């Protein structure tokens, strides 16, 4: 029986230290000092380690069928797995029985489909009352239940099997060697839990709990999820019994089996009132190294809990187990780590710990949304640096994963493992989290994180849209535009900055800042708020410009002339920036064109800064109100009978330098407020022609009055025969004065 002590750090050596040479003894991940590697180097190592685990052609083809087959299992919900596996390390055969306890979701469920790889052998499937019949097709076993179950009813069966897990890449279940010692371990992400145990291998149905029993040679220690309940020994074999009391998705169930050196630590939380076990199962030759690298785990859990919410499995444990894959894998409560120095480096420890929140507690609902796992875990590395060292280190770390490639963060084709695991979901995904923080500000961002942590998706699965909706509801900020541009858009914006400064009419200096988006990729316009910093002799000021159109100009007033203008100096936005000379730009702000009045002479000038003065103006993308024109000086003038809001684009050409610019403008023409009541033809005098025009309008189908309120002389808010009567009475019988109407 293996016993654990309650000291802060104790050592448990399992088996003998073997020194025989092995093909795996030399690890190529030690070429780099991983504690000094860039974030992108770390992430490339992580995703390549996962991708290479299923690299061969057969696994790739079956990845496609796994995607297709996932839609056939929606008639039942798995509640509980009781998994009992005996591992023969000599023959490399697994002998197992998995108890399914599930609930019918459809009105009548008589058959269910179980994912189980084609090469593994089904011995039998039984239920409490007898034997279940079944059929196989590819990697799916269709089990006929003992009866038809109504919606909400529970059923169970035991699935007996054996076989050697398929070898693809480095296998989803690996029998290997390290320094002459056996290392047996699993890495089931994305669809390959089914290669070594029968299950419902999908992400949107977590079993509420697991019992795990693994029988191995007594030379070995078994690291797995949850908490050890007991270890039973019979002859030269012993069985480790683990219990998982939290919901867990199939790909996160794991085992790591070897002659490990196992040591424990303790994490104290809730101000030291509570504690949790930490377990580290490491290769014997890495034990001393692990003591000075995994000892950071308590601090990591504390800092991430402060940032995201309490460590989500605090009634169980957390720890690390070495395995032969080249990276790390966030198995629930027991992360698997490569045994080279990479698996002990601080960024990797933080990244995999963060997955316990983002990936394990809340899992992406499909691999299309994997950035919700990997982007958040990568971002957590920067958060750790923020909590530990401050904002400067945080921004520096984010800059170390400034993704510049193409593609969308949303993975539309998940049948190719190289699409699922790639730098874009790690690095650009992290930048989405960072930019969301920049858009919202710390207070609202933290509200969103807290709401997501406590959302209905806790211990479940979520999509990007569900994540977005949680943040919108928590913050009150509409975020569709942000996710459209950054999750479903490609590349990043390319901003060119220029500015024009002049003494203000009142006090200080007016500075006009122009931001031009140069990118030719999709989206053509990234809609982002951008910080501006104005440096001048005695100090500086910060402001913001909303870059929501291709060419955006804003005006600011500063006390002194600026020596430098910086765009997004703290790097809150993933972008390219460059400075360019101010040439000539139209200035279009709310209020730049004054309101006009119907049938009253109008004149205003569009604002423009720069250029030679030799201009040609034109209008497109809309039109001026009828009767108004724009001249070569940018003066809009004339008289119009139209009423309303008129949107149009003003184009200008500097004929000397051939500079061009265009800006949208809006001109409001308000209803006429003056005039002579009864003046139908707006001649500004009242006579018989107004009576004639009113009669023609009412009875002869003539044109409508230009200003209806002038004709509504009884102020009834309607033009009727009464208005004609009142008008005639006033003109010819000295009737009462006419009123100004109220026609809508």
**What is the domain-level CATH number for residue 163?**
2.60.40.1730
- Tell me the pTM: 0.85
Indicate the residue among 528, 546, 580 that finishes a domain. 580
- Chain CA centroid to CA 219, Å: 45
Q: CB–CB of 282/265 below 8 Å?
A: no
Mean pLDDT value of segment 662-673: 90
* Residue 473: inside a domain: no
Binned at pLDDT 50, 70 and 90, residue 36 comes out as confident
* Residue 506: inside a domain: yes
**Spatial separation of the C-alpha atoms in residues 71 and 63, rounded to whole Å:** 14
Mean pLDDT value of segment 77-101: 97
Q: CB–CB of 362/460 below 8 Å?
A: yes
Extended beta strands in 526-630, E state: 528-536, 539-547, 551-558, 562-567, 576-579, 584-587, 596-597, 602-605, 607-610, 615-620, 628-630
User: Which pLDDT belongs to residue 415?
Assistant: 74
Query: In angstroms, what CA-CA distances link 100 with 76, 139, 154, 163, 699?
Result: 11, 18, 10, 19, 84
**Mean pLDDT, rounded, of the chain:** 90
Extended beta strands in 172-236, E state: 173-178, 181-186, 209-217, 221-224, 227-234
Say yes or no: 164 and 91 in one domain: yes
User: Which pLDDT belongs to residue 570?
Assistant: 92
Mean pLDDT value of segment 59-81: 71
| Range scoring the smallest mean pLDDT among 36-50, 260-274, 570-584, 602-616 | 36-50
Higher pLDDT, 265 or 421: 265
| DSSP single-letter state for residue 207 | B
User: Which pLDDT belongs to residue 30?
Assistant: 60
Strongest mean pLDDT among 277-291, 417-431, 530-544, 644-658? 277-291
Say yes or no: 220 and 274 in one domain: yes
Structure-block tokens of residue 387:
């909590």
Say yes or no: 658 and 702 in one domain: no
Q: Is the pLDDT reported for residue 106 higher than 50?
A: yes
pLDDT in tens, 653-664: 999 988 999 988
Give the residue numbers spanning the domain of 573: 494-580
pLDDT in tens, 693-710: 999 999 999 999 988 989
Q: Which residues contact 445 (CB under 8 A, 6 or more apart)?
A: 436, 437, 475
* Residue 475: inside a domain: no
User: Which pLDDT belongs to residue 28?
Assistant: 46
pLDDT in tens, 472-517: 999 999 999 999 999 999 999 999 999 999 999 889 999 999 999 9
* Residue 189: inside a domain: yes
* Residue 484: inside a domain: no
User: Which pLDDT belongs to residue 201?
Assistant: 93
Query: In angstroms, what CA-CA distances link 64 with 192, 352, 415, 623?
Result: 12, 27, 5, 54
Task: Annotate 651-662 with DSSP letters as a single string.
Answer: EEEETTT--EEE
Domain count, the chain: 4
Binned at pLDDT 50, 70 and 90, residue 6 comes out as very low
Q: Is the pLDDT reported for residue 456 higher than 70?
A: yes
pLDDT in tens, 294-338: 999 999 999 999 999 999 999 999 999 999 988 899 999 999 999
Q: Which neighbouring-strand residues pair with 161?
A: 96, 122
Say yes or no: 87 and 111 in one domain: yes
Indicate the residue among 580, 612, 639 that finishes a domain. 580
Q: Which residues contact 12 (CB under 8 A, 6 or more apart)?
A: 2, 4, 261, 262, 263, 264
User: Which pLDDT belongs to residue 724?
Assistant: 92
In which element (H, E) is residue 127 found?
A: strand 121-127
> Shortest CA distance to 245 belongs to which of 215, 218, 277, 211?
211
Say yes or no: 631 and 742 in one domain: no
Q: Is the pLDDT reported for residue 56 higher than 80?
A: no
Higher pLDDT, 451 or 51: 451
Say yes or no: 562 and 708 in one domain: no
Mean pLDDT value of segment 56-78: 65
- Sheet containing 528-536: give its strands across: 539-547, 528-536, 562-567
**Spatial separation of the C-alpha atoms in residues 122 and 105, rounded to whole Å:** 26
User: Which pLDDT belongs to residue 419?
Assistant: 75
CATH code of the domain containing 600: 2.60.40.10
Binned at pLDDT 50, 70 and 90, residue 72 comes out as confident
User: Which pLDDT belongs to residue 65?
Assistant: 55
* Residue 540: inside a domain: yes
Mean pLDDT value of segment 627-633: 94
CATH code of the domain containing 505: 2.60.40.1840
Q: Which neighbouring-strand residues pair with 275?
A: 268
* Residue 146: inside a domain: yes
User: Which pLDDT belongs to residue 12?
Assistant: 37
Q: Is the pLDDT reported for residue 623 higher than 90?
A: yes
Higher pLDDT, 28 or 214: 214
| DSSP single-letter state for residue 426 | I
Q: Is the pLDDT reported for residue 3 higher than 50?
A: no
Binned at pLDDT 50, 70 and 90, residue 280 comes out as very high
User: Which pLDDT belongs to residue 744?
Assistant: 76
Extended beta strands in 245-384, E state: 255-258, 261-269, 274-282, 317-323, 328-329, 335-338, 362-364
Say yes or no: 155 and 279 in one domain: yes
| Range scoring the smallest mean pLDDT among 61-65, 615-619, 638-642 | 61-65
Say yes or no: 573 and 696 in one domain: no
User: Which pLDDT belongs to residue 46?
Assistant: 79
Please state, as a whole number, how many other Cβ atoms lie within 10 Å of the Cβ of residue 707: 24
Say yes or no: 108 and 212 in one domain: yes
User: Which pLDDT belongs to residue 52?
Assistant: 59
| Range scoring the smallest mean pLDDT among 67-76, 120-129, 695-704, 726-735 | 67-76
Say yes or no: 616 and 695 in one domain: no
Say yes or no: 186 and 326 in one domain: yes
Q: CB–CB of 493/516 below 8 Å?
A: no
Q: CB–CB of 493/547 below 8 Å?
A: yes
Indicate the residue among 670, 690, 715 that finishes a domain. 670
Q: Is the pLDDT reported for residue 8 higher than 60?
A: no
Say yes or no: 137 and 229 in one domain: yes
């Amino acid at each position: 029986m293996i016993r654990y002590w309650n000291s802060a750090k104790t050592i448990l050596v399992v088996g003998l230290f073997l020194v025989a040479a092995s093909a795996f003894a030399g690890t190529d991940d030690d070429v780099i000092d991983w504690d000094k590697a860039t974030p992108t180097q770390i992430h490339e190592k992580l995703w390549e380690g996962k991708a290479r685990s299923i690299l061969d052609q057969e696994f790739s083809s079956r990845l496609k069928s796994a995607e297709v087959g996932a839609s056939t299992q929606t008639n039942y919900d798995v509640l509980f797995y009781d998994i009992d596996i005996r591992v023969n390390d000599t023959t490399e055969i697994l002998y197992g029985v998995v108890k399914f306890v599930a609930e019918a979701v459809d009105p009548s469920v008589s058959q269910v489909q179980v994912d189980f790889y084609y090469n593994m052998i089904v011995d039998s499937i039984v239920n409490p009352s007898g034997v279940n019949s079944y059929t196989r097709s590819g990697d799916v076993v269709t089990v006929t239940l003992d009866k038809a179950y109504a919606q909400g009813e529970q059923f169970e069966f035991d699935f007996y099997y054996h076989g050697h897990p398929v070898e693809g890449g480095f296998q989803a279940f690996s029998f290997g060697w390290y320094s002459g010692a056996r290392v047996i371990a699993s890495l089931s992400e994305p669809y390959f839990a089914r290669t070594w145990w029968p299950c419902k291998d999908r992400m949107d149905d977590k079993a509420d709990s697991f019992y795990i029993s693994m029988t191995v040679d007594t030379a070995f220690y078994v690291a797995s999820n949850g908490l050890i309940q007991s270890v039973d020994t019979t002859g030269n074999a012993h069985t480790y019994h683990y219990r998982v009391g939290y919901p867990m998705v199939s790909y996160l169930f794991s085992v790591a089996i070897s002659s490990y050196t196992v040591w424990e630590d303790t994490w104290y939380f809730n101000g030291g009132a509570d504690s949790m076990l930490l377990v580290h199962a490491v290769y014997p030759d890495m034990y001393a190294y692990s003591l000075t690298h995994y000892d950071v785990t308590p601090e990591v859990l504390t800092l991430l809990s402060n940032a995201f919410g309490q460590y989500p499995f605090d009634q169980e444990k957390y720890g690390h187990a070495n395995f032969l894959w080249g990276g790390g894998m966030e198995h629930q409560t027991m992360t698997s780590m490569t045994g080279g120095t990479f698996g002990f480096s601080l960024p990797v420890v933080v990244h995999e710990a963060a997955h316990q929140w983002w990936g394990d507690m809340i899992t992406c609902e499909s691999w299309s949304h994997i950035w919700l796992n990997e982007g958040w875990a990568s971002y957590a590395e920067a958060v750790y640096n923020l909590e530990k060292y401050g904002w400067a280190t945080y921004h520096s770390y984010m800059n170390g994963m400034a993704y510049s490639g193409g593609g969308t963060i949303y993975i539309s084709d998940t049948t190719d493992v190289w699409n699922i695991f790639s730098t874009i979901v790690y690095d650009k995904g992290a930048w989405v989290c960072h930019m969301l923080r920049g858009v919202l500000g710390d207070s609202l961002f933290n509200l969103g994180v807290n709401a997501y942590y406590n959302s209905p998706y806790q211990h479940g699965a979520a999509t990007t849209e569900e994540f977005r909706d949680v943040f919108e509801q928590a913050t009150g900020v509409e975020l569709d535009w942000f996710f459209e541009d950054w999750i479903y858009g490609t590349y990043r914006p390319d901003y060119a900055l220029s500015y024009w400064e002049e003494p203000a009419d009142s006090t200080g200096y007016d500075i006009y800042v122009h931001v031009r988006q140069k990118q030719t990729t999709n989206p053509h316009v990234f809609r982002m708020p951008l910080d501006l910093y104005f440096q001048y002799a005695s100090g500086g000021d910060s402001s913001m410009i909303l870059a929501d159109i291709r060419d955006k100009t804003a005006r600011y007033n500063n006390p002194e002339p600026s020596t430098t203008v910086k765009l997004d100096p703290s790097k809150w936005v993933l972008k390219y920036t460059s400075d360019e000379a101010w040439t000539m730009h139209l200035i279009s702000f709310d209020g730049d064109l004054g309101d006009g009045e119907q049938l009253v002479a109008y004149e205003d000038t569009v604002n423009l800064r720069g250029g030679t003065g030799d201009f040609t103006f034109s209008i497109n993308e809309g039109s001026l109100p009828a009767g108004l024109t724009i001249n070569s000086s940018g003066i809009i003038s004339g008289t119009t009978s139209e009423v309303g809001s008129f949107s149009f684009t003003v184009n200008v050409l500097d004929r000397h330098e051939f500079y061009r610019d265009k800006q949208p403008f809006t001109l409001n023409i308000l209803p006429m407020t003056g005039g002579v009541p009864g003046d139908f033809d707006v001649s500004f005098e009242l006579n018989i022609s107004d009576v004639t025009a009113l009669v023609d309008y009412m009875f002869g189908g003539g044109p409508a009055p230009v200003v209806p309120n002038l004709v509504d002389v009884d102020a009834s808010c309607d033009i009727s025969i009464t208005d004609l009567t009142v008008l005639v009475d006033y003109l010819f019988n000295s009737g009462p004065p006419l009123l100004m109407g109220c026609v809508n």
